[in-house]
Chain A
């Protein structure tokens, strides 16, 4: 199980919890598991998120590996200028 930190305004979709646990070994599984376990997150996941894995930022690369002891944080989708 991977622990995922959720940003504050999304905790309404996770029963108020700022950290949830889901089964995932990569980014794709993580996003799918979150959407399945917490349907209230689906609108935001559809709009897009960035995921910090062990301090580095990922947007789209489905097969980025995630281990059980990875630090995983959900973030607003990032954009550059």
Chain B
């Protein structure tokens, strides 16, 4: 797609930029909205999954005969009930249903469909799995050590040098310049090691689905997902079906944050439905969600940064080690690319290692890989700046990447907004507000790429002049409102005259998953183009009515008008007037657009955090928090603010409390929200937001993705704040009260 077609227009918006009521609000607060677990079907069975109690074990045999003999059990499936996975999807299948080995605590090994949940659970206890328990490893550095228990044989790719553990799957390296020469020019070289824990996306709604399959092989699936086209394609492949035989409908979704960009229970429900010949519903409980769906990677990172005493970074070097669970694919590549991306550096290098461990396969989590890298880098820069007595914002401004900067990962930046966020932070009253006792202030920057991808939109004009936009991306962050607003803006009609619906997979062509902060950018672009197609059609109809050339009719303020005095003197025809006589002028009116919307613009943010640390308990309270981010163009500012706030809150949880805790036996110790502590509203102040609008040159309205960047800075912003409050540099997340207390006491004793 040629981007010059999409250069942002200089225009004043009428609908875009306003704050209409959210179209799903009433449904969600009254309980009318239908989520994954709300679906049911006549004759429906309940599915239940038997999971491995071992962190690592060879499956010698599975005997399901006693379970199958139990009254009420209609089907039992194991790996033998799935087709051989196509190339590239072997790990997806193995993660949904273990093959030769169970690779983590909670790995699915069999599943039952029964007439009740109680019978299904009882049947699970009757399945006899003959395990050979194997040594396990759950820590990334331990997994890399020579002699570590190996999960797979021969899976390391060609980028891994000799001498590494078999658990190292790949190695990446980015950068330019001469690190050692750059460090030699520094007045101080700081070397630090940092660790972050695996955290879960923590969506409110557990995974849920309902599958049906007829004897003719036609199947339907309802599920909560970030991408039902992905679900269709993946399930069809794993079950040996044609994609066209499987129709998937996305339910309302109670959060995803990247964790619902793959499949877990959906292929299992379909396999059970196929075997039982009846609909099968599976709903995970929270324990299953935490044990067997993707948290993000945990990380271990070493950083070296050289800085002159006036705050110029002379060289920056980092080694990042991410464990992504039992299969290759941790986001270490993106962590390596994003680590130093906010800065204009002459000498920079990142080396990343993708490592497997006996944990659930990691899934994407909001800006995958970037928050951990930013925690390490932004902590080190903060420590250096403070060591020289410099303002940490001034140091970042001195080193900030700008238009024309060769980024740390290679490409030269076009127009970007980092400097604007830093200047806005410096001017914000928060930056100069007084602090109380035991309080500290931290600042950090963050970067994310943003994506586009395959997108289809159809816009139908109904006979009464209202408009329906049909798109194929589940609405997680307000996209139905945003699409309706962009369609209304383009058509020149009120927002209330447009309704956006999410179609099933039979209604539109392929749509990429709702991820990568892509939807407002890519689906918005397609919506605008679909509206323009409908306008062209309506102008053509009016031209016929008036008996003039199509080119002599223009669209303005929601109506077709003569292009000028030479076109003739005709009263404008509104969209509603044209729609009312569509049958007489050629039939229904619609516009559609299909595109692979690549070329999304990158995004930057700066966050300021104030914390107060209780010196007696080590507990940290967020006193004040401000997010400043470039949104390109904020279509619905309230949703943009919500994205900023949501990312900040998830990052605060990652910084202060959230962590997967494994025992020496490799079993997850805290698979529930009582022991896995996410921040709730009462823990937090209102998160303040500042929206900057630096237009994305790749979108007609200048829109950038906003959903992910906001989780990148908080880990470091909070850590820098806690360090300022306590005088102790915190390098190991989460900064839970016992850890902070020990650090404070250690300093006092030292």
Contacts and interface: CB of A to CB of B under 8 A. Distances in A.
Nearest to A48: B88
A14 to B, nearest CB: 13
Interface stretch (B26-34, B61-69, B510-518, B628-636): B510-518
A52 B601 CA distance: 11
A59 to B, nearest CB: 6
A7 B331 CA distance: 16
A55 B1 contact: no
10 contacts: A7-B172, A8-B173, A12-B158, A18-B176, A40-B158, A54-B412, A61-B596, A61-B598, A76-B336, A81-B515
Interface stretch (B365-373, B375-383, B432-440, B613-621): B365-373
B173 A58 contact: no
Q: Is the interface of A mostly helix, strand, loop or mixed?
A: mixed
Given A73-B411, A78-B334, A60 B600 contact: no
B651 interface: no
B364 A7 contact: no
A61 B1 CA distance: 8
Interface of B: 1-3, 157-159, 171-176, 201, 257-259, 261, 331, 333-334, 336-337, 349, 351, 364-368, 409-414, 449-451, 453, 513, 515-518, 596, 598-601, 698, 708
A64 B2 CA distance: 7
A19 to B, nearest CB: 10
B598 A81 contact: no
Contact of B1 (A59, A64, A71, A76): A64
Interface of A: 5, 7-10, 12-13, 18, 40, 43-44, 47, 52, 54-61, 64-65, 71, 73-81
Contact of B414 (A7, A43, A54): A54
Contacts of B2: 65
B410 A80 contact: no
A79 B412 CA distance: 20
B76 to A, nearest CB: 34
A73 B158 CA distance: 20
A70 to B, nearest CB: 11
Contacts of A7: 172-174, 409-410
A52 B409 CA distance: 10
Given A8-B175, A71-B412, A81 B365 contact: yes
B411 A55 contact: yes
Closest 3 pairs between A and B when the two form their complex, measured CB to CB? A80-B516, A81-B258, A8-B173
Contacts of A61: 1, 596, 598
A53 B258 CA distance: 26
A58 B411 CA distance: 12
Contacts of B451: 57, 59, 78, 80
B412 A55 contact: yes
Given A8-B174, A43-B158, A75 B337 contact: yes
